[in-house]
């Protein structure tokens, strides 16, 4: 079985692969990544051109503009999922059609600085919650309706740390050209 030739363009840092046993040190590292993402994103795009913003980072992918707007859209959904898992017993979360969101007017036309600023606010609130989680809270779960999987909050922290790094790598691949 041959690997998808677009695999490295789709997953420049690889797929999310958390350790089998998630320890507090992993959670702390992931929270640090989440906390620093807004400033690292802002730095990555400080001199980005309109041409680069409208560049598709891989065949059948989004433009860099869409990726920049997607990150806070996704992370605000994650923030809500954390809140549900902390206040309800193993809730089934609401999935969203990220591909449809990426086609909306705001994602194609709104200034990217608005999404960078929004990401800063979302991450400020998210990190504040994450830093206060107890071990019991880190083990709380929600159910993803598409996979049916029960997801722990510690696993989800890692997923969103990875998600930010994943898209930052997409952006950097165009900026560095």
* CATH code of the domain containing 107: 1.20.120.450
Per-residue pLDDT tens over the stretch 107-129: 988 999 999 999 999 999 999 99
How far is Cα 109 from Cα 125, in angstroms, rounded to an integer?
A: 26
Structural domain includes residue 6: no
Structural domain includes residue 18: no
- The rounded percent of the chain whose pLDDT value lies above 90 is 92
Residue 46: count of CB within 10 angstroms of its CB: 8
Mean pLDDT of 36-64: 96
Number of domains in the chain: 1
Provide CB contacts within 8 A for 21, sequence distance 6+. none
Residue 6 scores a pLDDT above 90: no
């Amino acid at each position: 079985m041959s690997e998808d030739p677009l695999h490295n363009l789709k997953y420049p840092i690889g797929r999310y692969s958390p350790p089998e046993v998630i320890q507090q040190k992993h959670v702390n590292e992931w929270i640090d990544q989440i906390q620093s993402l807004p400033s690292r994103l802002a730095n990555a795009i400080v001199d980005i051109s309109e041409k680069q913003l409208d560049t598709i980072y891989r065949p059948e992918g989004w433009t860099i503009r869409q990726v920049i707007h997607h990150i806070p859209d996704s992370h605000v959904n994650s923030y809500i999922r954390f809140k549900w898992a902390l206040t309800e017993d193993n809730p089934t979360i609401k999935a969203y059609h990220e591909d449809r969101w990426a086609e909306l007017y705001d994602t194609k036309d709104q200034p990217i600085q608005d999404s960078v600023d929004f990401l800063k606010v979302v991450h400020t609130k998210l990190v504040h919650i994450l830093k206060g989680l107890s071990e019991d809270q880190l083990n709380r779960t929600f159910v993803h309706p598409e996979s049916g999987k029960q997801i722990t909050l510690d696993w989800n922290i890692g997923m969103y740390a990875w998600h930010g790094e994943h898209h930052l790598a997409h952006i950097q691949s165009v900026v560095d050209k």
